[in-house]
Structure 1
């Protein structure tokens, strides 16, 4: 398992070819999210899996939203970055269902203020599980956060429930470039062991 985690890296040079058929990639993503743990087994994570033109449609929404706020002289760089995400085979949109969170808050009032935090933990685990599964299958990916900038547009475009809150986006596809090595800070700065 640790070797699989070691090999997971951000890939920004994406292509549209996948080493597996689309339905198998879809199944892989669904299973990774399904198997990811969640507090109180809430299973609050939701996903929209976009392939091909639907994925490009999402990145066009992001581009339109950014064009309104990024200075014109900086926009070509932004546009190139978004084109790299759109060049992939697909994008996973990660959501947390706020109806589930609210229901847990009602059922367990003692922990009410913690459920939004624990929901964030759940989506993080779903994202890592998905990213690791894709990487293990030879599929490149990265994790992006263009929310809440495109939340409303995405909800309208794919007619999503109002209770789904967008948390992150994961463009994925073939590895079309070198993946950099990851550096690590010294263990003494990061860990303490007692006992």
Structure 2
């Protein structure tokens, strides 16, 4: 039975131990991402967020060339070992969701609503963050573990070339996912009364 949304939200964590051994179908993964993109709110109903789902060999390819790019930057093999281990942990997963924003849509909004021009890129990033959380939580509901990574802009050019991504799509984040292979540690919370104030 699927978890309710609040339970899934509470249990959503960064899983770095993931495997390809999942029971969720590719069709269900596609449905999750498509529905999340469709229904996550955006400012002015601008619908600026975009997503690319990499599965199987395409997922593996992303983390292999990300590793190559980072290795060239770090240089020292010994210093690179922890990064290589991290790349392998992502590659061990089943898939990766790439999150983008469409800069053309944002630019058109800036032109159409000039008095808000400076805010549209900010609002777009906020919408993309909501989309990431929605997808992450829906994956959790399906029993999948994920984490959110940010190797942009280092990998942007290669990603666009490899998967024919439109030039106007700006890469925001990468979400590798798969079957959790171990549980993350306990999460610590700051006192909620210091973070939420109620005024009556």
Contact 1:11–1:175 under 8 Å retained in 2:
yes
Paired residues in the alignment total 195
Ranges in structure 1 where 5+ consecutive residues have no aligned partner:
none
Structure 2 match to 1:58:
62
Structure 2 match to 1:102:
107
In structure 2, what is the Cα distance between the partners aligned to 1:71 and 1:52?
Answer: 29
Structure 2 match to 1:18:
22
Deviations 1:119-170 (A, max 9, x none): 1001101100000000011011000000011001100000110000000000
Contact 1:33–1:127 under 8 Å retained in 2:
no
In structure 2, what is the Cα distance between the partners aligned to 1:24 and 1:113?
Answer: 37
1:179 CA drift (Å)? 2.8
In structure 2, what is the Cα distance between the partners aligned to 1:192 and 1:74?
Answer: 45
| Partner SS state of residue 120, structure 2 | helix
Cα-Cα RMSD: 1.1
| Partner SS state of residue 68, structure 1 | helix
Deviations 1:51-104 (A, max 9, x none): 011001111121111112225121111000010001100000000000010011
Query: Which of structure 1's runs of 4+ aligned residues deviate more than 4 A?
Result: none
Q: TM-score, normalised by structure 2?
A: 0.94
Structure 2 match to 1:91:
96
Q: Which residue of 39, 45, 51 corresponds with 1:41? A: 45
In structure 2, what is the Cα distance between the partners aligned to 1:192 and 1:28?
Answer: 34
| Partner SS state of residue 183, structure 2 | coil
Q: Which residue of 104, 113, 116 corresponds with 2:118? A: 113
| Partner SS state of residue 168, structure 1 | strand
Structure 1 match to 2:12:
8
Q: Which moved more, 1:39-48 or 1:22-31?
A: 22-31
In structure 2, what is the Cα distance between the partners aligned to 1:59 and 1:35?
Answer: 29
Q: Which moved more, 1:66-75 or 1:132-141?
A: 66-75
Matched, 1:68 2:75: no
Q: Which moved more, 1:149-158 or 1:34-43?
A: 34-43
Matched, 1:130 2:147: no
Q: TM-score, normalised by structure 1?
A: 0.96
Structure 2 match to 1:161:
166
| Partner SS state of residue 74, structure 1 | helix
Give the 3 Å change call, closer, same or farther, for CA 32–180 of structure 1 in structure 2: farther
Deviations 1:161-189 (A, max 9, x none): 00000000000011111232221101233
In structure 1, what is the Cα distance between the partners aligned to 2:84 and 2:15?
Answer: 17
